[in-house]
């Protein structure tokens, strides 16, 4: 195996779960994970879209228990490590132990960008379980760089091997990614990573800027499969990095084949930048809110863009999914009042 300059974590089997209503089957996960492993992807994340324990009425019920999906992926991977995402408060230490027990080797502990302190226990437990551990600072566009550094340092102090800047809303512009990654590289002694969403069509550009500034861990999603307009497209990223002489050690043809032959048929429609996903990036709203907002819009006969813009104004963050219906109901109520 060649040395890798950049390690890609493939997130289609976790972030992509948002895009298909958490409906992955064991057969799909087995086939995708096996093909990604054969393409030499180093890390493959498998969990509910909202992380371990996310299957619920609030976040969306999984069709198949995620531990069964994780086991299926572990059983077919010869070189890749299976990663799991965990948001403290949604997933528990028990979930983490169970995932480690069935073979997950990487734990990504995700918090809102101002709440790194809630990751302490989970990062510690993940390290004790012998897992490679990542701190995942979500909605990174919402705070100035100084705050981001403060929070990243907390995760480093708890034992994280890597800290990620997570552009959950796909709202960061390239110069903002540059500033954040550069500052983290200067402030931390651990690896720095970047996770992008493509709502403003900037996921690829932002990922490249992050790498230029020294990020050595980045996320990709085959066929962009992820929340909102999806993530940085892995097979394209691998091609571009190869052209730049940056080694990922991923087999390009095999990666293209997984995308075309295995993942594309899973999608009802190709992942694209719709007006809804564009507004996520424009208004700075959590990408996983898109399907919830579309449903609320249907229920109250509203334009989902109006709901998303209001959620952006109110700075609603992950975990506040119940606010989406409240906001929609308020907008509908106000319209009724004005029209009578
Ligand atoms: C709800 C978890 C979220 O989808 C994590 C993530 O990928 C992000 O914040 O972008
Ligand atoms: Mn994401």
Q: Tokens at residue 115, please?
A: 């709440």
pLDDT digits (tens, 9 = 90+) for 307-330: 999 999 999 998 899 999 999 999
Residue 91: C-alpha distances to residues 85, 99, 286, 288, 333 (Å): 9, 11, 19, 17, 35
Predicted local distance difference test score (pLDDT) of residue 336: 85
State in Å: Cα 150 to ligand 2 middle.
Answer: 22
Alpha helices in the chain (DSSP H): 15-19, 26-38, 66-76, 93-101, 120-128, 145-158, 174-187, 203-212, 234-243, 252-257, 275-283, 289-300, 304-313, 322-339
pLDDT of residue 318: 87
- DSSP state at residue 182: H
| Bridge partner list, 192 | 163
| Residue of 110, 196, 199 to test ligand 1 pocket, by largest number of atoms within 8 Å of CB | 110
pLDDT, mean of residues 188-196: 98
Please tell me the distance from the alpha carbon of residue 337 to that of residue 340, in angstroms, as a whole number: 6
Determine the Cα–Cα distance for residues 227 and 11; give it in Å rounded to an integer: 10
* Residue 131 φ/ψ region, left for φ over 0, alpha for ψ in the -120 to 50 degree band, beta for the rest: beta
For 270, other C-beta atoms within 10 Å of its C-beta total 10
pLDDT higher than threshold 80 for residue 340 = no
ipTM greater than cut 0.85: yes
Average pLDDT of the residues in 48-75: 97
Q: Scan for tokens 């991977």, then name that residue.
A: 77
Give the CA angle between residues 255, 257, 259 to the nearest 5°.
75
Per-residue pLDDT, 339: 76
Q: What's the pLDDT at 110?
A: 98
**Whether 120 contacts 151, CB under 8 Å:** no
How high is the pLDDT of residue 2?
63
CA 77 to CA 230: how far, in whole Å? 24
> How far, in Å, is the centroid of ligand 1 from the Cα of 223?
17
3-state SS assignment for residue 50:
coil
Question: Which 3 state secondary structure label does DSSP give 142?
Answer: helix
Q: Out of 3.30.450.80, 1.10.8.60, 3.30.499.10, 3.55.50.30, which CATH number does the structure's domain 275-338 have?
A: 1.10.8.60
| Helix or strand holding residue 62 (H, E) | none
Closest C-alpha to 38, from 284, 261, 215: 261
pLDDT exceeds cutoff 60 at 1? no
> For residues 201 and 224, what is the distance between their CA atoms, to the nearest angstrom?
11
CATH 3.20.20.70 placement within the chain = 7-266
Which regions of the chain carry the CATH code 1.10.8.60? Answer: 275-338
Is 18 noted as a catalytic residue in this protein? yes
- Please compute the mean of the pLDDT values over residues 169-179 and round it to a whole number: 98
| 39 Cβ closer than 6 Å to some ligand 1 atom | no
CA–CA distance, 329 with 302 (Å, rounded to integer): 10
Q: What is the pLDDT of residues 217-261, one digit of tens each?
A: 999 999 999 999 999 999 999 999 999 999 999 999 999 999 999
Alpha-carbon distances of 176 from 89, 171, 194, 255, 288, rounded to whole Å:
29, 10, 12, 30, 22
Structure confidence at residue 229 (pLDDT): 97
What are the φ and ψ backbone dihedral angles of 315, each rounded to 5 degrees? 50, 45
pLDDT at 337: 85
Helix (H) or strand (E) holding 201: none
Give CA–CA dist 5/278, Å, rounded. 32
Beta-carbon contacts of 143 under 8 Å, excluding residues fewer than 6 positions away, are: 113, 114, 151
Whole-number pLDDT of residue 134: 99
Is the CB of 138 within 6 Å of ligand 1?
yes
Per-residue pLDDT tens digits for 73-118:
999 999 999 999 999 999 999 999 999 999 999 999 999 999 999 9
Write out pLDDT tens, residues 295-306. Answer: 999 999 999 999
Catalytic residue among 18, 112, 195, 197: 18
Tens-digit pLDDT profile for residues 256-303 = 999 999 999 999 889 999 999 999 999 999 999 999 999 999 999 999
Residue-averaged pLDDT of the chain? 97
For ligand 1, whether the C-beta of 199 sits within 6 Å is no
Q: Report the nearest-CA residue for atom 1 of ligand 1.
A: 50
CATH architecture of 7-266: Alpha-Beta Barrel (3.20)
Ligand 1, atom 4: closest residue by C-alpha: 50
């Amino acid at each position: 195996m060649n040395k890798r300059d950049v390690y890609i974590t493939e997130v289609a089997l976790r972030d992509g779960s948002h895009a298909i209503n958490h409906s992955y089957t064991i057969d799909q996960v087995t086939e995708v994970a096996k093909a990604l492993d054969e393409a030499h992807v180093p890390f493959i994340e498998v969990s509910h879209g909202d992380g371990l324990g996310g299957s619920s009425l609030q976040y969306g019920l999984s069709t198949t228990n995620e531990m069964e999906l994780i086991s299926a992926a572990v059983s077919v991977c010869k070189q890749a490590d299976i990663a799991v995402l965990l948001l403290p408060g949604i997933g528990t230490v028990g979930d983490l132990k169970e995932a480690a027990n069935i073979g997950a080797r990487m734990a990504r502990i995700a918090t809102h960008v101002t709440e790194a302190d809630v990751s302490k226990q989970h990062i510690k437990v993940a390290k004790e379980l012998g897992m490679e551990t990542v701190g995942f600072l979500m909605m990174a566009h919402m705070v100035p760089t100084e705050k981001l550094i403060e929070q990243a340092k907390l995760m480093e102090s708890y034992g994280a091997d890597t800290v990620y800047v997570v552009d959950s809303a796909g709202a960061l512009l390239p110069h903002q990614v540059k500033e954040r990654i550069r500052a983290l590289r200067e402030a931390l002694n651990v690896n720095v990573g970047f996770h992008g969403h493509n709502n403003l069509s900037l996921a690829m550009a932002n990922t490249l800027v992050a790498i230029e500034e020294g990020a050595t861990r980045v996320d990709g999603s085959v066929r962009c499969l992820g929340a909102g307009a999806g993530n940085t497209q892995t097979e394209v990223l691998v091609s571009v990095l190869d052209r730049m002489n940056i080694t990922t050690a991923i087999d390009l043809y095999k990666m293209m084949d997984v995308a075309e032959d295995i993942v594309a048929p899973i999608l009802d429609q190709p992942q694209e930048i719709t007006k809804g996903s564009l507004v996520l990036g424009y208004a700075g709203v959590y990408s996983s809110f898109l399907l919830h907002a579309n449903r609320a819009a249907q229920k109250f006969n509203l334009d989902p863009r109006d709901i998303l813009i209001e959620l952006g104004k109110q700075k609603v963050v992950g975990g506040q999914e119940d606010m989406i219906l409240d906001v929609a109901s308020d907008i509908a109520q106000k319209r009724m009042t004005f029209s009578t």
